[in-house]
Each structure stands twice: as C-alpha cells, then as structure tokens.
Chain A
Amino acid sequence: DAGVTQSPTHLIKTRGQQVTLRCSPKSGHDTVSWYQQALGQGPQFIFQYYEEEERQRGNFPDRFSGHQFPNYSSELNVNALLLGDSALYLCASSFSARGAEAFFGQGTRLTVV
C-alpha cells in the first residue's frame, strides 16, 4: 500500500498564476481533506471531499477550490496566487467514519514569488 501520495513535491509559481495540486488517497479510503500549513504554524483545514462533493469548508477564500474524482483522488486548485499562499499543502485521507484516523501525505511545498 503506497499510502497517501501527493504531487508535485515542490512547486514555484509567480503571483497571479494558478496552481493545481494532486492527491491519491490511501487504498480503501473514500474521504480526502486538504490542509494548509504555513511556516511555523499548525495545519489549517481548507475543505473536505466525500462522494465527489465538498462536505465542509474552512475559512479560505473562493480562490481555493477542489475536486474529487470517482476513484477518490482529489485536486486542489488555487487561483490568483498571493505571496501569502506560500505554504506546505497537506492532503489527508480517511474512511467516512467518526473518529477515523486521517493519514497524511508528505505534502506539496508551494512557493509564490
């Protein structure tokens, strides 16, 4: 089992550009969540996808959007990038059950210049 895989591992973008990050969940998991971890901070919840729909959203602007595919993989899209969007973006997958353990990928390090 490959666990949760994210791509790419590192990315450099220019302000105003758009970026797409990808996540493949752990085998058998049906729920994918995305988190933003700024330097020196704890991860912040962006949103969660289940059955190809966004179930809940954290306090992030509409520039952040996502998608979940029938095979449960997911994408995070960020439009009109700002310098403040520079962070480690973490994907977590889990079963759709209360208290289920979330398994995290190694993250995508996004740098906006």
Chain B
Amino acid sequence: AQSVTQLDSQVPVFEEAPVELRCNYSSSVSVYLFWYVQYPNQGLQLLLKYLSGSTLVKGINGFEAEFNKSQTSFHLRKPSVHISDTAEYFCAVSPMNTGFQKLVFGTGTRLLVSP
C-alpha cells in the first residue's frame, strides 16, 4: 500500500517570494510521483510528474520538483510566486508494478499568495 504526507496544510507567502511545498511518501514498491493543482471549484490539473531519469523535474507555470529516493520525498518549488498561484496543491503517487494507474493523494497544501 502507498501513503502520502503533505506536511503543511497551509503555506502563506508574499508575491515574488520563493516557496517550497513538502511531500513525503511511503510505499513498499517503486512509484511514479505527481503534483496536481486545484483552483477553487475546479478539477485537478497536472503540474509535473516523475516517471524516471533526472530527479529534477520541471513543470508548468514555473514549478519544479526534486525526487529524493533516500528520503522518499518529492518537494515542489517555485522561485517567485504570483497571486494567481493561490490554489490547493496535491502530491500523489502511483505504483509502478501494476498495469494501470491508481493515484494515492495527500491531503493537500493550500498556497496563499498575498501582495
């Protein structure tokens, strides 16, 4: 079984400041890793994913994440945030050893960007 822990339920930050949203996971098998963003009253949009290869992954809207296998972490970063980045962010994993994709999500981190 897999589990995902997002250590911060809410992260307040000022516009143009850097931000890091933390994600740790637990799994008995290797996993794919994802970050999704959810704007109010909307579904989920994929920001980035790690399947294999380079541990530093770049996504949309200037976000990037680094996979650290030894620490079982996949933290999301952005060097300079905008007001429009205010949203809920979800980290998710999917086991590699199955022929289908089941996403296991964390409880989410609300990013609040203020002027």
Our count of residue pairs bridging A and B at CB distance below 8 angstroms stands at 71
Whether A42 pairs with B106 at a CB distance below 8 angstroms is yes
- Measured between beta carbons, the chain A residues less than 8 angstroms from B92 are 42
Contact of B32 with A by CB under 8 A: yes
Whether B101 pairs with A42 at a CB distance below 8 angstroms is no
Number of interface residues of B (CB under 8 A): 26
Whether A31 pairs with B100 at a CB distance below 8 angstroms is yes
CB contact under 8 A between A42 and B102, given known A99-B51, A106-B42: no
Shortest CB distance B63–A (Å): 15
CA distance A34 to B32 in the complex (A): 19
Contact of B94 with A by CB under 8 A: yes
Interface residues of A, Cβ cutoff 8 Å to B: 4, 31, 33, 35, 40-45, 48, 50, 55-56, 58, 90, 92, 94, 96, 98-107
